[in-house]
């Protein structure tokens, strides 16, 4: 049987066995939602991908430790937005641990079965009185309908919440996968990026879940870039409740990765689409590389090129800037065999520009979804893709005024 993926409502609480809530406890202004709890009714298998940044925030350090101690069996995730609890020293570590302890106590579970995450301004201490009140409120509010509120409660500068859920009909049985994510600055994943929480109601042993999560992240969250930054707080957690009565084993690895990807890819694209100041989603495809790694390196260089991102913003089919990035990206490159396509329009190939096609490309660039395909010209079979967004004056404005 061919696997069927059906979009469903409910986000992170769509899979059976999960409840979620998002509340406002006053970390952010204007009564915006700023604290979320996701709870599993039973001990869930867990997997996690953490930031590779060496300046790791307190919640990352505490979650890593709990993850290790609980052998991948988790009951809950507690998350706040508005304050990253990063670079906050000993106090920050205590605060992250208190978030865990309070959540565990309120839910009557072991503290080591709780993961914690924070996002927002770096270097500011958590207002623990607000956090305490928020955790109490959130645990009381936990429900199967709480996914959308949880998605909102983890937002910082995101212009819209990101949540996805699918029902998977596979040979192994029918199960559900849901997830929420937040961006939207400091987005360039190396292993992990931003915050994302994925739930599923199939039963999966932690090592298999970890392997599948890593594989799904590589092609989704690790293939996006808003600004080439990598944050101190990035993590992706996956929890599998097993409540659906379906068990995924080694033989089901492909469907597990696909199922996770069905949720992670739209969340990842949502982060880029909601990137700070973004007006266009740019999909970059690199072909003709000596290896997939070289293709990814060039894709990443294009995704982070301010000159490419501003040209796309201005609707300018400036293929010369793409060639310049290809040449400096560090990957093998043969100008005389290289090609650049903007949407359906080939503007450069075999060393020759086709500038008479520029007007067609300019019309194409008026859209909000832009595909760029470049061929490095080496004749190799290496390919890769990345998603990014345009660079706009609004990005500068948001980040020049973030704390003021």
Which residues face 73 on adjacent strands? 45
Alpha carbons 18 and 13: distance in angstroms, whole number? 5
311 binds its own copies (CB under 8 A): yes
Say how many C-beta atoms besides its own lie within 10 A of residue 250's C-beta: 10
Task: Give whichever of 174 and 399 is closer to its own copies, judged by the CB atom.
Answer: 399
Q: Which stretch binds its own copies (CB under 8 A): 63-71, 87-95, 215-223, 364-372?
A: 87-95
Q: Does 86 bind its own copies (CB under 8 A)?
A: yes
Burial 118-127 (b: 16+ CB within 10 A, else e): bbbebebebb
- Catalogue the E-assigned strands of 142-202: 162-170, 173-182, 195-200
Q: What is the 3-state secondary structure (H, E, C) of 57-69?
A: CHHHHHHHHHHHH
Min separation Cβ 184 and its own copies, Å: 12
- Is 193 part of the annotated catalytic residue set? yes
Nearest to 338 by CA among 347, 327, 351: 351
For its own copies, which is the closer residue by CB, 109 or 332?
332
By the rule CB under 8 A, 320 interacts with its own copies:
yes
Shortest Cβ 278–its own copies spacing (Å): 12
If one asks whether residue 219 binds its own copies (CB under 8 A), the answer comes out as no
Q: How far apart are CA 8 and CA 363, in angstroms?
A: 35
60 vs 264, beta carbon nearer its own copies: 60
Q: Compare residues 313 and 341 and give the one whose CB is closer to its own copies.
A: 313
Residue ranges in 220-259 that form contacts with its own copies under rule CB under 8 A: 227-232
- Applying CB under 8 A, among 316, 364, 371, 385 the residue interacting with its own copies is 316
- Applying CB under 8 A, does 388 fall inside the site for its own copies? no
Shortest distance in whole angstroms from residue 121 CB to its own copies:
7
Report the site for its own copies in 177-196 (rule: CB under 8 A): 185-186, 190
How many Cα atoms are found within 13 Å in the side-chain-facing hemisphere of 393?
1
Dist. CA 194–CA 39, nearest whole Å: 20
Task: Catalogue the E-assigned strands of 84-144.
Answer: 114-121
Q: Helix %, strand %, coil % for the chain, to 5?
A: 35, 30, 35
Position of tokens 């086709």? Answer: 354
Q: CA-CA distance, 118 to 190, in Å (whole number)?
A: 19
Q: What number of CA atoms fall less than 13 Å from residue 181's CA on the CB side?
A: 33
Q: How far is the CB of 36 from its own copies (least distance, A)?
A: 23
Give the separation between CA 38 and CA 78, rounded to whole angstroms: 7
Q: Interface with its own copies includes 97 (CB under 8 A)?
A: no
- The answer to the question of residue 122 lying near its own copies (CB under 8 A) is yes
- Rounded to whole angstroms, what are the CA distances from 23 to 26, 142, 278, 379? 9, 10, 28, 54
Q: What mask, x for binding its own copies by CB under 8 A, covers residues 322 to 341?
A: -xxxxxx----x-x--x---
**Mode of pairing for the β-strands spanning 369-375 and 281-289:** parallel
Q: Is 71 in the site for its own copies (CB under 8 A)?
A: no
- Closer to its own copies at the Cβ: 371 or 399? 399
Q: Is 305 in the site for its own copies (CB under 8 A)?
A: yes
Q: Write each residue from 35 to 64 as x if it is in contact with its own copies (CB under 8 A), else as -, in one continuous string.
A: -----------------xxxxx--------
Q: Contact at 8 Å (CB) between 287 and 387? A: no
# residues contacting its own copies (CB under 8 A): 64
Least separation in angstroms between residue 66's CB and its own copies is 20
Catalytic residue numbers, as ranges: 193
Q: Which residues bind its own copies (CB under 8 A)?
A: 52-56, 84, 86-89, 121-124, 185-186, 190, 227-232, 304-307, 310-311, 313-316, 318-321, 323-328, 333, 335, 338, 348, 351-353, 355, 391-393, 395-404
């Amino acid at each position: 049987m061919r696997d069927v993926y059906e979009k469903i409502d409910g986000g992170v609480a769509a899979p059976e066995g999960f409840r979620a809530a998002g509340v406002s406890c006053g970390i952010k202004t204007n009564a915006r939602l700023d604290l979320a709890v996701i709870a599993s009714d039973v001990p869930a298998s867990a997997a996690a991908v953490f930031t590779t940044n060496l300046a790791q925030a307190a919640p990352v350090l505490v979650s890593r430790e709990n993850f290790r101690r609980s052998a991948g069996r988790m009951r809950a995730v507690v998350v706040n937005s508005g304050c990253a609890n990063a670079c906050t020293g000993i106090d920050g570590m205590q605060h992250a641990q208190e978030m865990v302890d309070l959540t565990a106590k309120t839910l009557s579970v072991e503290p080591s079965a709780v993961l914690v995450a924070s996002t927002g301004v770096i270097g500011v201490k958590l207002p623990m009185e607000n956090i305490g009140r928020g955790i109490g409120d959130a645990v009381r509010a936990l429900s199967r309908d709480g996914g959308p509120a949880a998605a909102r409660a983890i937002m910082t500068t995101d212009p819209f919440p990101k949540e996805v859920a699918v029902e998977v009909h596979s040979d192994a049985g029918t199960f559900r996968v849901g997830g929420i994510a937040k961006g939207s600055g400091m987005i360039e994943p190396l292993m992990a990026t931003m915050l994302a929480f994925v739930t599923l109601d199939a039963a999966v042993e932690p090592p298999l879940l970890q392997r599948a999560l890593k594989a799904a992240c590589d092609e989704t969250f690790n293939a996006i870039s808003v600004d080439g930054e990598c944050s101190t707080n990035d993590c992706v957690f996956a929890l599998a409740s097993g409540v659906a009565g379906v068990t995924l084993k080694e033989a089901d690895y492909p469907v597990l990765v696909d199922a996770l990807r069905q949720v992670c890819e739209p969340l990842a694209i949502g982060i880029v689409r909601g990137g700070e100041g973004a007006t266009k989603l740019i999909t970059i495809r690199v072909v003709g590389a000596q290896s997939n790694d070289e293709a990814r390196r060039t894709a990443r260089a294009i995704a982070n090129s301010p000159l490419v991102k501003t040209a796309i913003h201005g609707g300018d089919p400036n293929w010369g800037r793409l060639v310049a990035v290809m040449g400096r990206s560090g990957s093998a490159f043969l100008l005389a065999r290289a090609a650049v396509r903007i949407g359906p329009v080939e503007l450069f190939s075999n060393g020759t520009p086709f500038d008479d096609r520029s007007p067609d490309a300019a019309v194409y660039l008026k859209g909000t979804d832009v595909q760029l395909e470049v061929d490095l010209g080496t004749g190799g079979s290496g390919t890769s893709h990345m998603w990014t967004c345009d660079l706009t004056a609004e990005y500068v404005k948001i980040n020049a005024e973030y704390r003021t």
